[in-house]
Structure 1
Amino acid sequence: MLVFLAGMVVGRAGLFPYPLLNAAWDALDDWRENWRHYLGLRSKYLEPTTRTAGGVTIHDKDLAFDGLTFVAAYREGRYDAWLLDMDGRTVHRWDATFSRIWPDPSHLDAVGWDGSMEIHGAWLYPDGDVLLDLGGAGTAKLDRCSNVLWTVDRHTHHHVEPLPDGGAVIPSRVQRFAPQPARPLVNVGPNGFYWDDTILIVGPDGKVREEESVIDILYRSGWASVLLSTPGSAKALRTEDPVHLNDAEVLSPALAPKFPMFAAGDIMLSLRGPNALVVVEPGTWRVKWVQMGPFIGQHDPDFLPNGHILVYDNRITGSTPKLGNTRLVEIDPATHQVVWTYEGEGDQAFYGESRGEQELLPNGNILISDSHHGRVFEIAPAAGNKTVWEWVNLVEPGYAGLVTDVQRIPRDAVSWVGQPCAGGGIPVAGGS
Structure 2
Amino acid sequence: MKLSYLANALYVLAVLFLAFAAGIAVSLTQVWPFPLFHDAYKAGMAEWSQSQTAVNPLATDLWRRARTNARGVTVHDAAKMQPGYTLFTSGDGNVARLIDADGRVVHEWKMPFSRVWTKNAAVQHPQKDDLIYMRRAKLLPNGHLLAIYISGNDTPWGYGLVELDADSHIVWRYLAHVHHDLDVTNDGCIVTLTHDFTDQPLSGYGFVPTPYLEDFLVTLSPNGKQLSKLSLTRMLARSPYGISLRRGEPWFADFDPLHVNTVDWLGPNDIKALGFGKPGDVLVMFRQINLLALVDPKAQRIVWAMHGNWLAPHDPHVLANGNILMFDNRGNMKPHNPSRVIEFNPRNDKIVWSYDGSAAQPLDSRIRSTAQRLADGNTLITESDGGRMLEVTKAGQIVWEYVSPIRAGDHHQFIPVLSGGYRIDPASLDPAFRQRLAAREKQIQAHAK
TM-score class, shorter: 0.7 to 0.9
Q: Which one of 40, 46, 51 corresponds to residue 68 of structure 2? A: 51
Q: Which one of 388, 398, 418 corresponds to residue 399 of structure 2? A: 388
Q: Which one of 44, 47, 63 corresponds to residue 24 of structure 1? A: 44
- Looking at both structures, which has the greater relative contact order when contacts are Cα pairs under 8 Å and sequence separation is at least 6? 1
**Structure 2 partner of 1:143:** 165
Q: 1:10 to 1:28 in 2, by over 3 A?
A: farther
Structure 2: 5+ residue runs without aligned partners? 1-16, 151-157, 438-442
Q: How does 1:338-417 map to 2 (within 5 A)?
A: 338-381=351-394, 384-396=395-407, 397-414=412-429, 415=431, 416=433
Deviates more, 1:216-225 or 1:192-201: 216-225
**Offset at 1:15?**
2.8
**Offset at 1:26?**
4.0
**Structure 1 partner of 2:124:** 109
Q: How does 1:137-176 map to 2 (within 5 A)?
A: 137-176=159-198
Maintained 8 Å contact 1:47/1:401 = yes
**Structure 2 partner of 1:6:** 22
AA aligned to 1:402 is: V
Percent of aligned positions that are identical: 27
AA aligned to 2:401 is: E
Structure having the higher helix fraction is 2
Q: 1:376 to 1:231 in 2, by over 3 A?
A: closer
**Offset at 1:187?**
5.1
Q: How does 1:27-426 map to 2 (within 5 A)?
A: 27-32=47-52, 34=53, 38-40=54-56, 42=58, 44=60, 45-75=62-92, 78-135=93-150, 136-180=158-202, 183-186=203-206, 189=209, 192-230=210-248, 238-315=253-330, 325-381=338-394, 384-396=395-407, 397-414=412-429, 415=431, 416=433, 419=436
Q: 1:85 to 1:242 in 2, by over 3 A?
A: same
Equivalent residues, number: 406
Maintained 8 Å contact 1:199/1:212 = yes
**Offset at 1:129?**
1.0
CA distance in 1: counterparts of 2:404 and 2:249, whole angstroms: 40
Which structure would you say has the larger Rg? 2
Q: Deviations over 1:51-79 (max 9, x none)?
A: 1120101000110011101011134xx23
Maintained 8 Å contact 1:10/1:16 = no
**Structure 2 partner of 1:15:** 35
- 3-state SS, counterpart of residue 158 of structure 1: strand
**Cα RMSD, aligned residues only:** 2.5
Give TM-score scaled by structure 2 length. 0.84
**Offset at 1:273?**
0.8
AA aligned to 2:220 is: V
**Offset at 1:399?**
2.3
Q: 1:153 to 1:307 in 2, by over 3 A?
A: same
- 3-state SS, counterpart of residue 35 of structure 2: coil
